[in-house]
Amino acid sequence: MSSETGKILTTDGIPLEVSLKKAERKNKIKAFLLVAPLLLFLLITYIFPIGDMLMRSVDDKMVTEMLPKTFKSMEKWDGKELPSEEVFESFYLDFQKLVEEKRDGKLSTQLNYTKNGFKSILKKLRRKAKNFEEGNYKEQIMAVHQRWADVEYWRAIQRRAPAYTSQKYLKGIDMYKNEEGNIVSVEEDRRIHRILWLRTLEIAFFVTLLCFLMAYPIAHLLATLPMKYSNLLMICVLLPFWTSLLVRTASWMILLQQQGVVNDFFVMIGLVADDSRPEMMFNKTGTYVAMTQILLPFMVLPLYSVMKTISPSLMRAGKSLGGTPFVAFWKVYFPLTIPGIGAGCLLVFILAIGYYITPALVGGASGTLISNQIAFHMKSTLDWSFASAMGLMLLAGVLAIYWVYNKLVGVDNIKLG
């Protein structure tokens, strides 16, 4: 080769790379324009809401904005003794402004979250403050209620100064920051979220396992039966997809209730006595049964699509080389289905971990999941920031599982079809 190792030129003398880029630019733009609507759609319906959820879950600006002067003057306060007159004055001014705007109720709710007892003293302050004279607000406020002279309450107000907080996340795992600023667990009998998290994981795990155990033979049958039978079977698998989720769940309620079809059948064949019919609904059993049935197709389909690609001659080869049917299955067939198992399990597990309607309807108290708790805070307590925080924790959990899965199996090995 010659010493000319520089850039390769086209016949027109333009460097090849430049020329190539120019030639491909148009295609790249076209390709981008083609996906742009989808990208925009995803951005609006997915990325923004998640971002908003993230903000909402750590957002604690409400109090920060309601008491701007107070927090400004509190910056110099060391928090050991009662704050200075300046703090009291700015608190009074902030509070008067809120009263005028009729927003003092919100403040009292918020401060009451932080420390019980704020509601009544703020109400009292509001009444008395109308007659306050100018100057010496410290004396006047402390005279309204003795708690206003308690340094604890002022510290509680100060704790709400930062615009962002992690307390919703701590609450999600039954922990909180105590007055000394240490992170501690709540008392044992008030820990509800941890139980829910564990139960969610447990139910998702077992539902995935049950789905796998049931779907594997079905998928194998689907992949190996002659076309005319496998089509029929495929319709049976897909039929649930064509019925409303609510209808399916409701039909499980009919089947599983104590006077329901399944129990009647058990009594009829003498499996259980009429007066001791087992409870199969409004508990974990109901959740397991209904969720497994509903999520089964999500396991069958990826398994089927992978099994369909495995040549039947591989099993034959395994047998003709001397492997018993079991050895041929275990050493040859099964390893080849792992990509489908991975895809199916991941899909079912992720769907199960965030499942909502079915556990809400058939789960009862012992069969509800973390998503039901999220819904509860969205709809009933209106504590959206807490709901957001738990939603994000769920998301983080799913991502973590995905990461672990990627480390163990490798995402490249997933096959959905």
Partner 1 sequence: MSKNLDFVKFDKVDKSYDGKVLVVKDLNLDIAEGEFITMLGPSGSGKTTCLMMLAGFETPTNGEIYLDKNPISNIPPHKRGIGMVFQNYALFPHMTVYENLAFPLKVRKFQKDEIDKKVDKALSMVSLSGFEHRMPGQLSGGQQQRVAVARSLVFDPQLVLMDEPLGALDKNLRESMQYEIKHIHESIGVTVVYVTHDQSEALTMSNRIAVFNDGKVQQLSSPDKLYEEPVNSFVAEFIGENNTFAGQVTNMSAKECKVKLNDGTEIVANPISVKSNGDKTTVSLRPERALINTKEKMDNNFKGKIEEVIYHGDHTRVRLDLLGNKEFILKVPNSSANMDIKMGNLINVSWNSHDARALDPK
Per the CB < 8 A criterion, the answer to whether 342 and 261 are in contact is: no
Measured between alpha carbons, how far is 362 from 356 in angstroms, rounded to an integer? 11
By CB under 8 A, tell whether 410 contacts partner 1: no
Q: Which is closer to partner 1, CB of 303 or CB of 361?
A: 303
Residue of 310, 249, 311 lying closest to 282 (CA atoms):
249
In the complex, least distance from residue 203 CB atom to partner 1, rounded to whole angstroms: 33
Among 51, 135, 217, 325, binds partner 1 (CB under 8 A): 325
Per the CB < 8 A criterion, the answer to whether 291 and 207 are in contact is: yes
Q: Which is closer to partner 1, CB of 328 or CB of 369?
A: 328
Map residues 270-309 to x or -, x wherever contact with partner 1 holds by CB under 8 A: ----------------------------------------
Residue entry with tokens 């409701």: 250
Measured between alpha carbons, how far is 72 from 84 in angstroms, rounded to an integer? 13
By CB under 8 A, tell whether 328 contacts partner 1: yes
By CB under 8 A, tell whether 319 contacts partner 1: yes
By CB under 8 A, tell whether 336 contacts partner 1: yes
By CB under 8 A, tell whether 226 contacts partner 1: no
Q: Which is closer to partner 1, CB of 32 or CB of 334?
A: 334
Measured between alpha carbons, how far is 306 from 320 in angstroms, rounded to an integer? 23
Per CB under 8 A, which region of 165-173, 288-296, 319-327, 351-359 contacts partner 1? 319-327
DSSP calls for 93-149: HHHHHHHHTT-HHHHHHHHHHHSTTHHHHHHHHHHHHTTPPSS-HHHHHHHH-GGGG
Per the CB < 8 A criterion, the answer to whether 124 and 97 are in contact is: no
By CB under 8 A, tell whether 320 contacts partner 1: yes
Query: What residues contact residue 136 under an 8 Å CB cut-off, 6+ apart?
Result: 85
Beta-carbon count within 10 A of 218 CB = 19
CB burial of residue 328 (10 Å; 0-12, 13-18, 19+)? buried
Q: Helices (H) and strands (E) in the chain — how many of each?
A: 21, 2
The conformation of residue 176, written as its DSSP 8-state character, comes to E
Per CB under 8 A, which region of 244-252, 317-325, 345-353, 395-403 contacts partner 1? 317-325
Per CB under 8 A, which region of 71-79, 81-89, 166-174, 312-320 contacts partner 1? 312-320
In the complex, least distance from residue 310 CB atom to partner 1, rounded to whole angstroms: 9
Measured between alpha carbons, how far is 263 from 272 in angstroms, rounded to an integer? 8
Among 323, 329, 364, 395, binds partner 1 (CB under 8 A): 323
Q: Which is closer to partner 1, CB of 173 or CB of 338?
A: 338
Q: Which is closer to partner 1, CB of 198 or CB of 314?
A: 314
Q: Which is closer to partner 1, CB of 25 or CB of 316?
A: 316
By CB under 8 A, tell whether 316 contacts partner 1: yes
Per CB under 8 A, which region of 85-93, 208-216, 300-308, 330-338 contacts partner 1? 330-338
Q: Which two tokens stand for residue 215?
A: 């779907």
Tell me, by CB under 8 A, how many residues bind partner 1. Answer: 19
By CB under 8 A, tell whether 417 contacts partner 1: no
In the complex, least distance from residue 327 CB atom to partner 1, rounded to whole angstroms: 6
**175 φ, ψ (degrees, to nearest 5):** -130, 165
Bridge partners, residue 175, by sequence = 185
Among 182, 276, 313, 380, binds partner 1 (CB under 8 A): 313
Among 314, 382, 404, 416, binds partner 1 (CB under 8 A): 314
Q: Which is closer to partner 1, CB of 332 or CB of 345?
A: 332
Bridge partners, residue 176, by sequence = 184
Q: Which two tokens stand for residue 394?
A: 């769920």
Per CB under 8 A, which region of 87-95, 323-331, 362-370, 404-412 contacts partner 1? 323-331
By CB under 8 A, tell whether 311 contacts partner 1: yes
Measured between alpha carbons, how far is 360 from 282 in angstroms, rounded to an integer? 9
- For partner 1, the binding residues (CB under 8 A) are 311, 313-314, 316-325, 327-328, 331-332, 335-336
